[in-house]
Amino acid sequence: MNALEKYFTENTGRLIHKWKHYFEIYDRHFSRFRGTDVHVMEFGVFQGGSLQMWKHYFGPNCKIFGVDINPHSKQFEEDQIKVIIGDQEDREFLKSLAEKTPRIDILIDDGGHRMTQQINTFEELFHRIDENGVYLCEDLHTSYWRKYGGGYKKRDTFIEYSKNFIDYINAWHSTQQDRLSVSEFTKTVHSLHYYDSILAIEKRPIEKPYTLMTGIPATIPEYHPPKKSLLKRLKG
């Protein structure tokens, strides 16, 4: 049991609602930030419990920014925790968040979970995350739930939208640059991590990949594969 799950299990503070398997994923991607002056932005304040959990986990130098549409969420502000009120689906509001926060090292999307909310948040804020930061969108199972705008293989779900990211990080190797070219995403994303209901994206400045060879080359006789007709006679 890692420190986050231990805190959650023993929690006697404000209410926290999380899937149990999330804690291993959080710790895997967030542990390197513990004890630093990390800036964390979480969409979805609920009852403020997770904001306190992040504050405890990351330590006395962290800054936590909670974002929620409910104005009553302001009551959960405290030392190291600031709550910003606004509509996650509103692109202008999302753009304004960058001006209200010094920087974003970790962005956790646990907000409204609707497709437009998740996509708008990614498009407006991903490029604002620090070059070595982490973007984590959770509760992606709503991409399969119709009441959230989801549906299996439905074109405009966040799951289908994010599948394009796999092409983007491999764009260095595209021989069809008119269709798939190296982008800012290609140059700034180190890895994509898909889990049950979660996508975590780790950022890092990326240079064009290249191959190397080391060691002493062996002398290998030239090989000529048998012609197909000969192979057929041998098998016959």
Helix (H) or strand (E) holding 169: helix 164-169
Q: 132-144: per-residue pLDDT in tens?
A: 999 999 999 999 9
Domain ranges of the chain: 3-209
Per-residue pLDDT for 228 more than 70? no
| CB count in 10 Å sphere of residue 210 | 6
Strand runs labelled E in the chain: 39-43, 63-68, 81-85, 104-109, 129-138, 189-195, 198-203
pTM of the model: 0.91
Please tell me which residue, 1 or 81, carries the higher pLDDT value: 81
57-89 pLDDT, tens digit per residue, is 999 999 999 999 999 999 999 999 999 999 999
Q: Which helix (H) or strand (E) holds 191?
A: strand 189-195
Q: What is the CATH number of domain 3-209?
A: 3.40.50.150
114-125: pLDDT as tens digits = 999 999 999 999
**236 confidence band (pLDDT: 50, 70, 90):** low
